[in-house]
A and B are shown apart, each in its own frame.
Chain A
Amino acid sequence: MNYYAGIDIGSTAIKAALIDDEGKIVGTHIAPTGSSFHKNALDTFMNLLNQHGIERQAVKFITATGYGRKLFKEADDSISEITANAIGAYEAGKAFGGVRTIINIGGQDSKAIQIDVQGNVSNFAMNDKCAAGTGRFLDVAARNLEIDLEELGDYHFAGRNAPLTINSTCAVFAESEIIGLLAKGHGKQEIVSGIHYSIARRTVRLAKRVGIEDRVYFDGGPALNKGLVAAMQDELGRELVIPEHPQTTTAFGAAILARSLFLAESKEEA
């Protein structure tokens, strides 16, 4: 039995995915990137193998993606996270009836990708200059409100008033705005939902640049935040397809590609 791996080396977290000969997911693993990402990437990969009792030699091809893709020497090839995300979403999206638009909100960036019926990237847009529409904004908010990231979703639905408008265009400046709102006596719930809407609006603007077509797939860590998902659906005016493990779609896509590349190479050699 051959296995194929995809490693998504992001700025905050490293995600690894393992698939088998049939392209089915065997397992995934997530760990923080930390400061020495090469070592951590290797560790994450090996941890994943150990979890499922698989030998290193059984993994025939590793594709790396994400910001650290070029420097992970263990990998056999590297690919941009846009292509990897598209492949992963296309495959995962089959279970939902097929997806055409992918929205990814990561730790430090966000992207919108449009794919055609065959899963090829036809257009994409990225926001990697500003943290305001990314997971970082959620981190900042959670810290300032002194709540856990995982609780953000609950707070969103617990509000009794309308979501507050967050005016700052910058996630860093928003900190002072949040503190100010708290001081004025506004509830944390409304602040949280306001932040979710702020991110949602920004992201939808980004998505409109590539054109939004059903179905829309939403991945990246923040997709676990049900409050954010609700805000996004509201702004988009349609339902989103959320996978069970949204952080690992890109790594999964890289693994799928690893398999395709390996099979193509073997065919060439034959």
Chain B
Amino acid sequence: MNSSEADTYYLSRQAREAEATLEQLQDDFPDNPQAMQYFYDLFHRVYGQGEIIKHSGKLVGTTCIHAPEELIYAFGATPVRLCNGSYHYDQIGADFMPAKSCSLVKATLGSLQAKAAVPNTQSLDLIVNPTTCDQKTKASAMMSAMGYKVEDLELPPAKESEEARLYWQRSVRRLATRLRELTGNKLTRKKLQHAMARTSRAQTAFRTLHQLRKSAPTILLGKDAFLVTNAYFFDDIERWTAAVEQLNNELLQRQQDGFQAAQKRAPRILFTGSPPIFPNLKLPILIETSGGVVVADETCSANRMLYDMTAVDEWRLNDMVDSLADRYLKPCTCPIFTRNDDRQRRLLQLATDFKVDGVVYQAFSGCQVYEMEYRSIADALAERGLPMLYVETDYSPDDMGQLSTRIEAFLESIKTRKRQAL
């Protein structure tokens, strides 16, 4: 983006789209936590004004949470998650992608094609593309054709077997080699430890936030939680951690004061499926403006990105790298794998821990893996007596009327159920 483009960035369509969502996030809800102001301002500056976040070393874009960010940090580079949530870029992507493809991939490729997107993707030194779903896998060649340097991070399609685990460990090692070539730096124990310590602090801050959302009545709305985790995609990690820790302190105070962020009888919703990525937070916002509250989620733009923590037995380089590899593969509940027992268990445990009343399952049209899993998830939840609403949607703002009918009906049926259970 040149300087004249930067001056008028705020007039661009993607900026206006972002500002519209930010307005909704702040104005449609009363009593936003003070500490959230950091995040509102961050998105306003970066997505609304086109501000560039300073980064150190090479800038490495990632298209999936499977890419081990600690490794990227350890080589002195900075990771930035490229998964895009803008309808504007979705439409750009639609020019060259098949009609039935997933909005997320279209938007990501659209933003890469446009080369004027935030946060500053034009100067990407490398894109690490884990071979997850079909569309992301095929996107590799398309990104290369756009002129980016792409590293395919080979992910196995099943994660139970020892072969898969070893295959993935080798993939991660190969990534380390590639990063060394890119940055010219060597991977040392100290650097990796430092990187892992920073990420671990961020994960700890997230876990505290996560646990605080168990409160009944709710002390934080899901729309804010999603914004916080979405900020992790591109924000400076230490600044982000500090901001979250401040939010946690404020929430603790709220908890002690008995503060309610939503109505006492607001149905507690567990959100799962295709990730809500800023500015496409329409479904969580809709749930919360319709009287529900999203207390927990199982999506890769929030919970799955930051929840699992790495354990290392001996802090030797090979042990650390393998431990990282394991952490990025074993607990992952992404539907790209053959089985989904882990996902079912995780959802049921979240439902129990967070006293959830119902589950909203979002699937982007064209996301075959999420679409195919919905049946098994619905059955597993039904066995536990948990109602589930399956919503197929995309980035276009046209289906708000249809979505609101469904969401409201779902929330109404939960309220009725609760009323009768009393």
| B412 and A118 within 8 A (CB) | no
Does any Cβ of A come within 8 Å of B4's Cβ? Answer: no
- Give the complex CA separation of A81 and B406 in angstroms: 9
- Interchain CB contact under 8 A, B420 and A126: no
- Point out the residues of chain A lying under 8 angstroms from B402, CB to CB: 126, 128-129
**Does B387 count as interface, using CB distance less than 8 angstroms?**
yes
What is the distance, in angstroms, from B351's C-beta to the closest C-beta of chain A?
A: 17
Nearest to A70 among chain B residues (CB) is B404
Chain A's nearest CB lies how many Å from the CB of B390? 9
Distance of A69 from chain B, by nearest CB (Å): 9
> Does B409 count as interface, using CB distance less than 8 angstroms?
yes
Contacts of A67 in B (CB 8 A): 401, 405
Are B413 and A120 neighbours in the complex by a CB distance under 8 Å? Answer: yes
Cβ-closest chain A residue relative to B420: A118
* Least CB distance, A208 to chain B, in whole angstroms: 13
A121 touches B413 (CB 8 A): yes
A124 within 8 A of B: yes
Question: Judging by beta carbons under 8 Å apart, are A126 and B405 in contact?
Answer: yes
A83–B420 CB distance below 8 A: no
Q: A80 vs B413: C-alpha distance in the bound complex, in angstroms?
A: 10
A120 x B416 contact (CB < 8 A):
yes
Judge if A79 is at the interface, Cβ distance under 8 Å. yes
Q: Does A82 contact B (CB under 8 A)?
A: yes
Within 8 A of A (CB), among B368-420: 387, 401-402, 405-406, 408-409, 412-413, 416-417, 420
- Distance of B229 from chain A, by nearest CB (Å): 30
B409 contact set on A, CB distance < 8 A? 80-83, 121, 124
Which of A92-135 touch B at CB < 8 Å? 118, 120-124, 126, 128-129
List residues of chain B with CB within 8 A of the CB of A128: 402, 405
Interface residue range, chain A: 10 to 19
CB < 8 Å neighbour of B405 from A82, A118, A122, A123: A82
In angstroms, Cα B407 to Cα A79, docked, is: 11
Q: How far is the CB of A49 from chain B (nearest CB, A)?
A: 27
In the complex, residue of chain B having the shortest beta-carbon distance to the beta carbon of A209: B390
Q: Which residue of A lies closest to B403 (CB)?
A: A128
Residues of A near B405 (CB, < 8 A) are 67, 80-82, 126, 128
Distance in angstroms from A68 CB to nearest chain B CB is 10
Quote the shortest CB–CB distance from B348 to chain A (angstroms). Answer: 19
- A49-106 at interface with B (beta carbon < 8 Å): 67, 79-83
- Interface residues on chain B, number (Cβ under 8 Å): 12
Per the bound structure, the CA–CA distance linking A83 and B408 in Å amounts to 9
Mask of A6-39 contacts with B, CB within 8 angstroms, 1/0 = 0000000000000000000000000000000000
Asked whether B417 lies within 8 Å of A120 as measured between CB atoms, the reply is yes
- Bound-state CA distance A123–B413 (Å) is 9
Residues of A within 8 A of B406 (CB): 80, 82, 124, 126
Taking CB atoms, residues of chain B closer than 8 Å to A120 are 413, 416-417, 420
Residues of A within 8 A of B412 (CB): 79-80, 82-83, 121
User: What are the residues of chain B within 8 A of A126 when measuring CB–CB?
Assistant: 402, 405-406
Are the C-beta atoms of A80 and B408 separated by less than 8 Å? yes
Q: Is the CB of B408 within 8 A of A79?
A: yes
Chain B positions 73 through 100: 1 when the CB is less than 8 Å from some CB of chain A, otherwise 0:
0000000000000000000000000000
Q: How far is the CA of A124 from the CA of B412 in the complex (A)?
A: 12
Most buried by A among B387, B406, B412, B420: B412
Q: How close is B52's CB to chain A, nearest CB, in angstroms?
A: 40
A126 to B409, CA, bound (A): 11
In contact, A122 and B387 (Cβ under 8 angstroms): yes
Query: Closest approach, in angstroms, between the C-beta of B411 and any C-beta of chain A?
Result: 9
Query: What is the CA–CA distance of A79 and B420 in the complex, to the nearest angstrom?
Result: 18
Q: Using Cβ atoms and an 8 Å threshold, which residues of chain B touch A124?
A: 406, 409
Cβ-defined contact, A83 with B413, below 8 A: yes
User: What's the minimum C-beta distance from A149 to chain B, rounded to whole angstroms?
Assistant: 26
Closest to A78 in B: B408
CB distance from B422 to the nearest CB of A (A): 12
Q: Which of B26-61 contact A (CB under 8 A)?
A: none
Q: Which residues of chain A come closer than 8 Å to B420, judged between CB atoms?
A: 118, 120
Whole-angstrom distance between the alpha carbons of A174 and B66 in the complex? 47
B390 — nearest CB in chain A belongs to which residue? A125
Kindly state the separation between the CA atoms of A81 and B387 in the bound complex, as whole angstroms.
19
Q: Report the minimum CB–CB distance from A211 to chain B (whole Å).
A: 11
**Distance in Å from the Cβ of A99 to the closest Cβ of chain B?**
17
Q: In the complex the two chains form, what is the Cα distance from A80 to B416 in whole Å?
A: 13
Kindly state the separation between the CA atoms of A15 and B108 in the bound complex, as whole angstroms: 45
- Write the chain A residue with the least CB distance to B417: A120
CB distance from A67 to the nearest CB of B (A): 6
In the bound complex, how far is the Cα of B416 from the Cα of A123, in angstroms?
A: 13
Smallest beta-carbon distance B374→chain A, Å: 11
A121 B416 Cβ-Cβ under 8 A: yes
Give Cα distance in the complex from A123 to B414, angstroms. 11
Q: How far is the CB of B285 from chain A (nearest CB, A)?
A: 16
Q: Which residue of A lies closest to B413 (CB)?
A: A121
Interface residues in A162-214 by Cβ distance below 8 A to B read: none
The complex places the Cα of A171 from the Cα of B296 at a distance, in Å, of 41
Note all chain A residues with C-beta closer than 8 A to B401.
Answer: 67
Task: State how many angstroms separate the Cβ of B326 from the closest Cβ of chain A.
Answer: 39
**Smallest distance from the beta carbon of B421 to chain A beta carbons, Å?**
10
Identify the interface centre among B387, B401, B402, B405: most chain A CB within 10 Å of its CB.
B405
Determine the distance from Cα of A120 to Cα of B410 in the docked complex, in whole angstroms: 11
23 A/B residue pairs, CB under 8 Å, sorted by A: A67-B401, A80-B406, A80-B408, A80-B409, A80-B412, A81-B405, A82-B405, A82-B412, A83-B409, A83-B412, A83-B413, A83-B416, A120-B413, A120-B416, A120-B420, A121-B412, A122-B413, A123-B387, A124-B406, A126-B402, A126-B406, A128-B405, A129-B402
Seen from chain A, the residues whose Cβ lies within 8 Å of a Cβ on chain B are 67, 79-83, 118, 120-124, 126, 128-129
Q: Which residues of B contact A (CB under 8 A)?
A: 387, 401-402, 405-406, 408-409, 412-413, 416-417, 420
17 other A-B residue contacts (CB within 8 Å) besides A82-B406, A83-B408, A120-B416 = A67-B401, A79-B408, A79-B412, A80-B406, A80-B408, A81-B405, A82-B405, A82-B409, A82-B412, A83-B409, A83-B412, A118-B420, A122-B387, A124-B409, A126-B402, A126-B406, A128-B405
